[in-house]
Chains A and B, each alone.
Chain A
Amino acid sequence: MKNRIAWGLTAVLLVCFPLAGGEYYVNFASQIFIAAIFAASLNLLVGYGGLPSLGHASYVGVAAYLSAWLFLKLGFGHWLTAPIALAATTIMAGLFGLIALRATGLGFLMLTLALSQVLWGTAYRWVSVTEGDNGLRGMTRPAPFGISLDDPSAFYYFSLAITVLAIWLMARFVGSPFGATLQGTRDQARRMSALGHNVWLIRWITFVYSGFWGAVSGLLFVYYHKYIHPASLSLTASAEGLIGVIAGGSGTLAGPLIGATIVMILKNYVSSYVERWNMLLGFVFVVIVIFMPDGLVPGVRRLWARWKARP
């Protein structure tokens, strides 16, 4: 019940926000939504599947690059580029899953990292397609039902709607019987296997599903910025998502949303003063892992329970 009220209040606040917030904040909030979808999709793997991926930026980058490339170089319309980019990225996630899921644990982490670094290097080197370090410029925002998304508030509501849909569907996924088996494979892979579940297949499906939502966040990313650069595929981008998940609390629904918000605020606030984001990100990693390993949401929940149980 309390949870429902919290989610409901958040929803009302978010819907009213563009009426009160200035353009800068509305734009910033849209970026947070994009980061939140990214972190939530990564959380499916890290939090619910127990599969620590360090290459999740691959899906964001590939979906963004694909749609921008189809739009700019082949002149496809948005109604074509979006589904093609989503489908192709999801297929790529399927192939990556075949490779990465040959291992679990740290082997999985290394494989996802290596795969995404290969894509990152290729985005830099394959100049004839990606324009290398210049990035692909000149992407436009789509106009669904004739509504231009160039207005900050319009884009805000568009990304809010997609974020709500994404979070709702991911919550359904986690709450379903399939989600329960997924958490079973995280906690007791062997027993799940003995019970007759196909552990590998459960993980692979989750991997692909998570990649799909990563791709959705990539599409929003390229619509927002109208630009895509290899940096979006970098290890830093994957690490930002991962630390968002962990800072908020992996394996909880709200955690990655809160964590992604914190990371985005830190990133924007700090980089408007000093250009030392990577160093700060590094310190955030060290501090969070050492002092707050289970993240904010479980941490606060624990404190709350202790406070309620006080004599």
Chain B
Amino acid sequence: MTTPAGASPGPSVVLAPALEMRGITKRYPGVVANDAIDLVVRPGEIHALLGENGAGKSTLMNILYGLARPDEGQILLDGADVRIAGPADAIARGISMVHQHFMLVPVLTVAENILLGAETMANPVFLDRDEARRRIRELGARFGFEMDPDAKVGSLSVGWQQRVEILKALYREARILVLDEPTAVLTPQETEEIFTVLKRLAAEGHSIIFISHKLYEVMEIADRITVIRRGRVVGTRIPSETNEQDLAELMVGREVQLTIDRGESHPGKAALEVTDLRVADDRGSEVVRGISLEVRAGEILGIAGVAGNGQDELVEALVGLRRPIGGTIRLGGHDVGGHSPRAMNEAGVAYVPADRHRFGLILPFSIADNVVLTSYYRAPFAHGWVRDDDEINAAAEVAISAYDIRTPSATARAGTLSGGNQQKLVVAREFSRDLALLVLDQPTRGLDVGSIEFIHRQVLAKRDAGAAILLVSAELDEVLELSDRIAVMYRGALVATVDGRTADKYEIGLLMATGGRERGAEPTAGVSSGGTP
């Protein structure tokens, strides 16, 4: 029944696949999320699905789980063609999913969470809670841990919540278990423990689909690895016949990127000095763990890293949206740690957010109002409390022509603009003044090539005008194209820093995915301005 890890899974193996997805295609407006994807998962196999964020892994799994319907393609379970109508149908067919963001109700107990939707009944009305407790304990024991069925889920650590999710699947007697980035929120120890559980599950004949972008993890856990890039399958590998470099190349891609001439940078004196900065996320766990860095006037420091390694919180702390829990932020020699967004703004910090619909723009407002979003209260846009619409509209007209924003008028709502023009609007506002520090968080996400190039040129122009620029992006190409220096962020810390011009893409990709632990690279606590080799 089981396929031992490392055994040759060639075509000679006659075992029928537990799951086969054939030619799955899913289009969203403007994006092909899945493009004729084939995936074969055998019984007892841990099959890793490897790819960057946005490569289409989650879409594929949502299709498998009935949360999205494919435009083309078919799904076969044990060789039979099936249509999966929804989560309930998927569960009934033995497919269970552990979502990246846990689907647990914090105020309910472990037993209640596990029972939900698959209730064990004592009679037609009441739950059989004793039987449920017994089965939960038994299942836990079978896979090597002791679960208290009556604990409130909200009081459990993330690692234990993960186990509850897995028990949820086992309780439903799932044969195919999908785990979406299961280790994203776990400590290394917790990760090891979960891996032990997963290996036992596979040994009992469960098929496991393990979604990840962490190379060393899939090398450690998977029997086979399918790599997806931009909605397509670009290869399937067996860990014993591949290595991390090979996988990184597959995952990131080899295609030559159009590059613009970035010119020489002439760094001046330090504009931003961050020392031992620590920041917590909304749930209170420390996700920026003691970062120190320095950005000099007239240079671009790129922060490369897989999304979710603390970049968002770092950026929010730098622009005043999030109060640090420790460390200092100095701007031009003055301590600005914990200052309000407006104080940061007045100190010369500009910010292009990753999610322009959240922090960047007020979509129901006019273009003109968005142009003055951070300066509406001071001259020349206001005299005392009274707004000066003439000045505001004049500034908007200037921004529209200077940044080539395609719109019928300055009074049009920002929400009516295309994505590229919306981003140009954000850039127009943030760039149109003297800057001490420019914080760019994935500034070209979701844009067309023309807009990307335009924004890149503006960034370089700001650098040459003497602004210190911090560029955070999960798009490695973008970081490589613009940065004078590149620091790699991994699990809330900077693990390495390299020269932007000589940096090797695969080396950085590897650092992003592994934090440098496989290669034995020197993790550096901070990045000094002289950190170039």
A and B interact: no
